[in-house]
Structure 1
Amino acid sequence: MAPFVLFPGRHHLLTRFQADYLLRLAEDGSTIVWAVTSANHENTKRNPVPYHRREAAIERFSVLTGLRSVVVPIFDTAPTDAFAEVTLKTIAVATGLDLTPGNTLVACSTPQVVKLYERLGFPIAWAEAALPVQPERPWDVLLRLSQGDDTWRELAHPATIDVFERYRLVDTVRTVINDPIIGDEGGLTATRDYRTYVEAFTVAAERKWAAVRQYVQPGRIVDIGCGAGSVLELADREPGLHESDLIGVEIARHLYQECLHKKDQGVFRNANVYFYQRNVLGGAIFDDRSVDTTLTFALTHEIWSYGERRAAVLQFARRIFDHTAPGGVWINSDVCGPGDRDRPVLLRLTRDDGANPATPRTDLAGLPPAEVKAYVEGLSTRARLDQFAVDFAFPFSYDPVGDDTVRLDQASAMDYLTRKDYTDNWLSETQEQFCGLSFTDWTALLTEAGFEIDPASAPIRNDWVIDNRIAPVAALTDLDGTPLPWPTTHLLTVARRPHNG
């Protein structure tokens, strides 16, 4: 028997079958080398358990079974056929072990992974796949857990059960895997270019902070959907907040990691700066009545868009109300629909600023992002509306009235006009609705959640966007041709939890 058994995998859950199987493979004293892949991922549907908890379960597993183990974290790389080589080199650097086909047996049941090691000449033990009646694989058992099927405990090894119970991972796994908002890799959408978003957050941070600073209460300050942490950087510089806790919460793994990088680099002077990769809709993060100020910027329309519309936003508002201290505040800045959302209007759009194909394309989802960007940017403002209607996740109807004018509802008109220039992330932006709620709708929703609305709350029209992006290529009129003023594009709400609430 080979002195080493290489056991690659994500290893979120360990099974009783694995214990029996590895004991047979290592009966002559072989060392099990656990290559834990996706070690830098957590809180995603594919990787719901953080590496350090997986490592703890493996070590516990080794003690209970008597197996000699070495555990090595393997970080994700871009997809590559050389991943087996990358794994072997990582193990060599981390442990000094030189695993070769002459001294190592690879235990794996995933055909795609097996091929990578077979190509290098390693002998293979096929684990579950070697049996005529295959036992459930670890991921299948984890799915049982996520679905509330308690029989997962009969298949999972006691080491996993112990770690899951001690660290309350059962609820975490169920929440993350069943979450309708978090994507497989811990983001909202697979088409989003996070580099562009980091740049946008940085540019807009000072404007956002200036708009809300006067309403921020010292104490425990939480920025939900904090992006790359740019607003918290500005809060960190405020002398009046130097004794406050500054806490960032971000779903997207790419942005969360950027926050941690900034903290590691010493960007923040306040020692009490913390970041969490969490989804507030998935469950309470903070104790009830424990947060003095909650900040959200350009977040709630995403909750509306990727969740169950108003019900998701109301649930989010109630979560925030629960964790807000009496007298505390939730400050929300986001896009907003017009006051009269359903009003029929005429929208005239320029046709001479780009191409006007006979029909919109239906295949953009299969193209590289750069090609999508180039195509959409090449369309006229009028033709871009037709493309938007195809790609937009919230269907709307419109009727042509001549070559350059359409009849549609005011909310759909503004959803297009406020999105038409977002070509860098076109397929991501068209999955989000900006005009789902008007300011009146927001007032009713916040009141229903238990908040009192501060007089500072108001609908806002971004005149720069109107003057520079919309008015030069579009005109909005009533059905009789009477020009209409451009409606609300954004809002600021300052919602307070009553002192006796």
Structure 2
Amino acid sequence: MYVLFPGRHHLLTRFQADYLARFADATIVWAVTSANHENTKRNPVPYHRREAAVERLSAQTGLRSLVVPIFDTAPTNAFAEVTLKTVAVATGLELTPADTVVACSTPEVAALYEKLGFEIALVEAETDPAPERPWDVLLRLAGGDETWRELAHPATIDVFERYRLVEQVRAAVNDPLVGDEGGLTTTRDYRTYVEAFADAAERKWSAVKSHVRPGRIVDIGCGAGSLLELADREPALHESDLIGVEVARHLFQECVHKKAQGVFQNANVYFYQRNVLGGAIFADRSVDTTLTFALTHEIWSYGQQRESLRQFVKRIHDHTAPGGVWINSDVCGPDDPHREVLLKLTTVDGDNPAEPRRDLGTEEHVQAYVASLSTRAKLDQFAVDFAFPFRFEPVGEDVVRIELGAAMDFLTRKDYVDNWLSETHEQFCGLSFADWRELLAEAGFELDPASAAIRNDWVIDNRIAPVASLSELDGRELDWPTTHLLTVARRPRNG
């Protein structure tokens, strides 16, 4: 009576339609897995578009279908049971081995249903030679191979063309920065990340709100939308469009959840899950204010450093309206990053192992281990894990000779033990304020006088100075350098 067909179903093939035709008297239950994921390498197509293609295929072929979304779960051997229960809740159908065949060509998944007593129809796997599977066809599309149209079912082709999904799939699958599940890194603890940004949102908004130009306001890398919540409360912006762009799936979903819960009073609040490096998001000259907070160092770190940042700055300039503004707040390197200094670090605030660990990438208890180290030992560990190699020379038990930029990269990161493997893949001191001035001018921006290099004295006084000190090579004490910047970059009205 029923054929349960579990799968992500991003793309439907002609072979699948022909294969399912043999079950013309049955109802096909399409269990669409990862239904809550979209715009990632592994799941580039949103569920509602996948559902539309399935319904269109069913109408064209005469198949009787039911489409059920299956939300992603942590890896589990109970996947088959979870799917069956979800189908039951959504449709009222209790599928059993007595009335249901499971169509599945993935051996590991098929085995889970087989253990429950279901007969398995192997789809592509029972044909010799095996036809290309849907994911293989989708990769043809992503690679620019137009023969994908010969293998895809007309229902998929129609939906992809009407909703411009070809470009979206190519952008997601070929994205140079974003991982399979829609994040820059798989090791980031997004809970602590959201909490830290929310705590700082009031301070950040107070520093920039006087520079915001009403109209179309875009926050790129908006996190969980904390800054836009504050913009939403500004009477002067109540007629503005507030738009959040976030690449990380976890954070984007939190933004959508907040909007659904009525957090925003402005009706014109929108969120997009996009990587701005993957292509233009907004039309040229269409944005009045762009906001970026703690974002540009990630583009530098996970991309191709200055080249990726140059492309980003150019894209921001292109979408900025004449007279519009880009406000950027982020970490910043010292003016002379390659200058050699002496860095003294305490050894009495933790353990001092003889050698740093070289296997933290496989260690489950990274946070506890790194937190147990002394500040001096953390430098040794940082040098192993940091994605941007640097050298230092010990000149005593607690003193090293090191370049100033590398010293500040370590000192501003040493306390991020809960996201150690993520933070050590990001460089804070890649650009100085002078480098930023040059980059912005190159793109055509004019720097507002409010722009400045900033030293975060709270971080210095509470995190760095108690356990570290800087001096010249001859021993003369050095003051702490710049740690952050604020740039207010305007596109000329005649530009």
TM-score after normalising by structure 1:
0.98
Deviation at 1:41, TM superposition (A): 0.3
| Paired letter, 1:477 | S
Residue equivalent to 1:153:
149
Name the CA distance, whole Å, in 2 between partners of 1:65 and 1:281: 40
Q: 1:318-361 deviations in whole A, cap 9, x for unaligned?
A: 11111111000000000001000111111111111111000000
Say whether 1:492 aligns with 2:486: yes
- Per-residue CA deviations over 1:154-211 (Å, capped at 9, x if unaligned) read 1111111111111111111111111111111111111111110111111000010011
Please name the residue that 1:75 is paired with.
Answer: 71
Comparing 15-24 and 202-211, the one that deviates more: 15-24
Match of 1:38 in 2: 34
- Corresponding residue SS for 2:129: coil
d(CA) in 2 for partners of 1:177 and 1:479? 49
Alpha-carbon offset, residue 230 of structure 1: 0.6
Q: Please tell me whether residue 125 in structure 1 is matched to residue 121 in structure 2.
A: yes
Q: Please state if 1:201 is matched with 2:197.
A: yes
1:269 to 257, 265, 278: 265
1:171 equivalenced with 2:167 (yes/no): yes
Shift in Å, 1:11: 0.4
Distance in 2 of aligned mates of 1:59 and 1:261: 27
Question: Matches of 1:346 and 1:61 in 2, distance apart?
Answer: 69
Q: Secondary structure at the match of 1:425?
A: helix
Shift of 1:43: 0.7
Q: 1:19 Cα deviation (Å)?
A: 1.1
Shift of 1:367: 1.8
Alignment match, 1:379: 373
Tell me the secondary structure at the aligned position of residue 134 of structure 1.
coil
**Counterpart for residue 8 of structure 1:** 6
1:189 has 2:200 as partner: no
1:270-349 pair list within 5 angstroms: 270-349=266-345
Q: Does 1:140 align with 2:136?
A: yes
Does residue 407 of structure 1 match 2:407?
no
Q: Counterpart of 2:252?
A: 256
Show structure 1 runs of 4+ deviating over 4 A: none
Q: 1:222 corresponds to which residue?
A: 218
C-alpha deviation, 1:124, in angstroms: 0.1
Q: Given the alignment of the two structures, is residue 477 of structure 1 paired with residue 471 of structure 2, yes or no?
A: yes
**Matches of 2:437 and 2:159, distance apart in 1:** 44
What is the one-letter code of the residue matched to 2:461?
D
- 1:51 corresponds to which residue? 47
Segment of structure 1 superposing worse, 379-388 or 144-153: 144-153
Alpha-carbon separation, structure 1, partners of 2:261 and 2:140: 41
Matched residue SS, 2:69: strand
RMSD: 0.9
Could you tell me which residue of structure 2 aligns to residue 62 of structure 1? 58
Following superposition, the deviation at residue 483 of structure 1 comes to: 1.3
Instruction: Name stretches of at least 5 consecutive residues in structure 1 with no aligned partner.
Output: none
Distance 2:93 2:461 in 1: 64
Runs (5+) with no aligned partner, structure 2? none
1:407-434 CA deviation, whole Å, 9 max, x = no partner? Answer: 1111100000000000010111111000
Matched AA of 1:344:
E
The one-letter code matched in structure 2 to 1:319 is R
Partner secondary structure for residue 355 of structure 1:
coil
Q: 2:234 aligns with which of 229, 232, 238?
A: 238
Separation of aligned partners in 1, 2:387 and 2:20:
48
Partner SS state of residue 500, structure 1: coil
Supply the distance in 1 between the matched residues of 2:202 and 2:9 (Cα, whole angstroms): 43
Q: Match for 2:458: what amino acid?
A: W
Determine if the alignment matches structure 1 residue 86 to structure 2 residue 82: yes
Inter-partner Cα distance in structure 1 for 2:234 and 2:387: 41
CA displacement at 1:68 relative to structure 2 = 1.2
Counterpart in the other structure of 2:387: 393
Query: How far does residue 238 in structure 1 lie from its aligned partner after superposition?
Result: 0.8
SS of equivalent to 1:232 = helix
- In 1, the alpha carbon distance for the partners of 2:492 and 2:172 equals 32
C-alpha distance in 2 between matches for 1:271 and 1:75? 28
3-state SS in 2 of match to 1:162? helix
> Which of the residues 438, 457, 474 maps onto 1:444?
438
* Cα distance per residue 1:285-321 (max 9 Å; x no partner): 1111111000000000001111111111111111111
Give the Cα separation in 2 of the matches to 1:182 and 1:360.
Answer: 30
Equivalenced residues, count: 495
Which residue identity does 2:204 align to in structure 1?
A: K
SS in 1 for 2:402: strand
Q: Measure the CA separation in 2 of the matches of 1:228 and 1:475.
A: 36
Q: CA deviation at 1:493?
A: 0.4
Deviation at 1:132, TM superposition (A): 2.5
Report the 3-state secondary structure (helix = DSSP H, G, I; strand = E; otherwise coil) of the residue aligned with 1:424. helix
Task: For residue 428 of structure 1, give the secondary structure of its aligned residue in structure 2.
Answer: helix
